[in-house]
Amino acid sequence: MPSPGKVAAKEKFLAFLEGKSLRMTAQRMAIIDTVFNTEEHFTAEQLLEWARQKDKSVSRATVYRTLPLLTESGLVHEMDFGKDYKFYDPNYAEHPHHNHIICNDCEKIVEFESEKIERLESEISQKLGFSVKTQRLQITGACEQMKKSGNCKNRAIQCK
């Protein structure tokens, strides 16, 4: 069951679409349901695969037309980790100030929040005469499983 924040984000997105006079199709609803029912970061291709589990008629074109709307609404965040494709963060509406650590090998993404980082951010911005609007911290590395065994179960999932 989606969290109350996810339900509210979905409702805000539906209102956003209505404000743009965009019609609600079954395909678009399957995509929206998928996005607001997951905690996982995803790529467009993963979203297509998951949405097709709800509705086999979901097209790649509809996914690629819906993703910019999701990011424009501010409810989903597009992340660029230097790959040929983007990742999308469905937890952005609930936690706009969180950080990510990403495994370069298997692309596992872990979100984290840190009061120390927030204090440092506040200290630096005040010292330099700025007020923080957004912040993004992305740390890349190798996950423990990859470092220990030279292989990672997540790698097989990503390499399908």
Cα radius of gyration rounded to whole Å, the chain: 18
State residue 104's pLDDT score.
80
State residue 106's pLDDT score.
80
Range name among 29-38, 56-65, 103-112 with the lowest pLDDT average: 103-112
Q: Using 50, 70 and 90 to split pLDDT, how confident is the model at 8? A: confident
**pLDDT > 70? residue 157:** no
| Same CATH fold assignment for domains 4-89 and 99-158 | no
Q: Using 50, 70 and 90 to split pLDDT, how confident is the model at 131? A: confident
Average pLDDT for residues 92-107, to the nearest whole number?
A: 77
Tokens standing for residue 46: 């993963």
Q: Using 50, 70 and 90 to split pLDDT, how confident is the model at 134? A: confident
The letter for the amino acid at 10 is: K
For the entire predicted model, the pTM comes to 0.76
Q: Could you please report the per-residue DSSP string of 60-110? A: HHHHHHHHHHHHHTTSSEEE--SSSS-EEETTTTT-SS-EEEEETTT--EE
Residues shown for the chain: 160
Domain ranges of the chain: 4-89, 99-158
Please determine, looking at this structure, whether the domain spanning 4-89 carries the CATH number 1.10.10.10: yes
> Quick one: DSSP state of residue 55?
-
State residue 160's pLDDT score.
35
Return all residues near 109 (Cβ < 8 A) that are at least 6 apart: 41, 87, 100, 101, 102, 103
Average pLDDT, the chain: 85
Tokens standing for residue 102: 């990403």
φ, ψ dihedrals at 16, nearest 5°: -60, -45
pLDDT tens for residues 58-69?
A: 999 999 999 999
Distance CA(112)–CA(56), nearest Å, equals 34
**pLDDT > 80? residue 17:** yes
The fold of the 99-158 domain, in CATH, is Dna Ligase; domain 1 (3.30.1490)
